[in-house]
Structures are given as structure tokens and as C-alpha cells.
Amino acid sequence: MNTNALGPMTVISTEGEAKSSGESALRLVWRVAILVLIALVVFLAWLVRIGEIYDGNSDFAYYIGLVGGLLMLALLLYPLRKRIPAFERLGKMETWFKFHMVAGITGPLLVLFHSTFKTGSLNGAAALYSMLLVAVSGIMGRFIYRHIHRGLYGKKLTMEDVGAMMADCAVNVRSVYAVQPDIEPRLKAFHDMAFDQSGSKLGRIWRFLTLHLKSRRLSREVRADAKKGLVRQFKERGGSRRDVVMNYRLAKDQIDRYLDSIVMASQLSVWELLFSYWHIIHIPFLYLLVFSGVVHVVAVHMY
């Protein structure tokens, strides 16, 4: 095995398995920080709910609701930027998408704090529930989006992209086959199962939902066998323990990449279909939010 193929192991990513102890530590710090932030927001929400920080009729509640409402209204700017050519000069799509994501989280959160987590009127309840619909829909859309793009802000994947990726990973993983003879047929069986279109519709749906979990389980099993094979080779042929470690890391990376590419290639068309359905649902929710928000603001100022 060529250990130079490992490349640098200091790039920090939040996706996939950590490739170094430093990356694992930074991921842990990041996750702990997120949990602490969520706990703090929940604690503040509880204090607001019981009226310990401010009253729902106070000026402060009014202004955070105003800011939250404006951020929610600003969500309409992203689809306008996508569809109106004249807006191309106003910045890159990546920047607009980042703003759309931040506004889609911050806006609903401010509106919830504005309401003090209570619905005191019919128009207020309608605006609040419309906002929650948009927020939940946005989270679902973000989940689907990441399956059909390179990263969160990357280019949209095509079948040619994922096909080339899978072919490249298939070539690289061949070096692992020599470590343990039964690795190749097990990976091939997974490939055939992933692309199998036979069986009932319910069975295909279940396979789609569980394919990633099956790939993770197979990856752990194959990696464990590869590790045993490398240790056996070390005992038989000798060499450096460092080479064993580096070769295992390389084998682990190649196995994971190959299985991930199979899952991605076999499911891309389904994720694209789900994303098109999501658009049909999400856009009306957004218009409903704007309408209910306007009604709520008008009602507040009239009465």
C-alpha cells in the first residue's frame, strides 16, 4: 500500500469519521459548545416563559419580534436572487444561501422569544404556527439539500459526478483486497444490493432508509477484518508498526469512501425527487408566513 496516498491529516471536517486525534478533539469541543449553546437558549426560554426577564407586552418584546419578523421576511430575498438575473450583481449565491440559513434560524427564534412562548390571540397563533411550519420545513430541506450537493454550499451533484466518484473509489479500494480475500465479494454484494430495483415498493423504501446504516455496519466489519489481515502480515513479514498503522488508516479511508460513494450514487435520484417535492411544499409555507405575519402586525397596531 502507498502510505503517501493518505495525504495531510490535519484538515478539520465535521462530516465522516475523524482522521486524527486533533480533529477528534476539535469535533468534541465543537459539539460540546453546540450543546452548551442549546442548553443556554432553553434556559433563557424558560425564564422568558415564566416572565422573569421581560413581559410579552413590553417594548423589548415588540422590538425583538420586529427584528425576527424582518429576518423572516428577508427569507424571500434568496429565491428572488436565484430567479431574477438583475440580482446577480448583488453577491454570490453561496453568500445569499448562508444568509438564508442564518435568517431562517435566527428569525423564528426571535419570534418565539417575542411571543414569550405563548399564543395570546388567533392572529398571533396563526403567525406563530406558520413560522414553525417554515422553520421545520427549512430544516427538512437542509437535510435533503446536503445529499445532492458537495457540502453545504457546494455545487449540485449529477449522476455523472457520483458515477465518476464511485469508479475512482472502486479503483482505490482494490489495494485493500489483498489484505483479506473475502473483502472484495462482500463489498460487491453491498454494491449489487444498493442498486437492486427488484422487490416490492415497501421493500425498496426500507432499503433506502436503512442503506446508510448498513454501509456503516459493513464498514466496521470490513475494517476490523482488514486490521486483522494487516497485523497478520506484520507478524509474517515483519516491518514497522508505523507502517501497519498508516496502512490501516489508508484502508479505512478507502473502504469508507467506497461505501459512501455507493450509497450516494444509488440514492441521488431519490434525493433529487424528494427535493423537488420539498420545494412544492416549502414555498407556499413561506408565502403563508408572510401573509399571517402581515395580518398579525396590522392587528397589533390597530388594536
Structural domains in the chain plus CATH codes: 3-9+158-277 (1.10.132), 21-154+279-302 (no CATH)
Alpha-helix runs per DSSP H in 14-118: 21-49, 59-73, 77-83, 93-114
For every residue of 152-169, DSSP letters joined together read TTSPBP-HHHHHHHHHHH
Q: Hey, is 149 helix, strand or coil?
A: strand
Q: Hey, is 223 helix, strand or coil?
A: helix
Torsions phi, psi for 107 (to 5 deg): -60, -55
- Express as a percent the part of the chain with pLDDT over 90: 23
Digit-coded pLDDT (tens) for 68-90: 888 888 888 887 887 787 777 78
pLDDT band at 9 (very low <50, low <70, confident <90, very high): very low
Rg (CA), the chain: 25
Q: Are 225 and 182 in contact (CB under 8 A)?
A: yes
Rounded to 10 degrees, what is the CA torsion of 85, 88, 90, 95? 130
From residue 221, give the alpha-carbon distance in Å to each of 66, 119, 228. Answer: 54, 52, 11
* Interatomic CA distance for residues 133 and 282, integer angstroms: 9
Digit-coded pLDDT (tens) for 133-176: 878 888 888 888 888 887 655 678 888 889 999 999 999 898 88
pLDDT given for residue 81 in this prediction: 81
pLDDT given for residue 273 in this prediction: 92
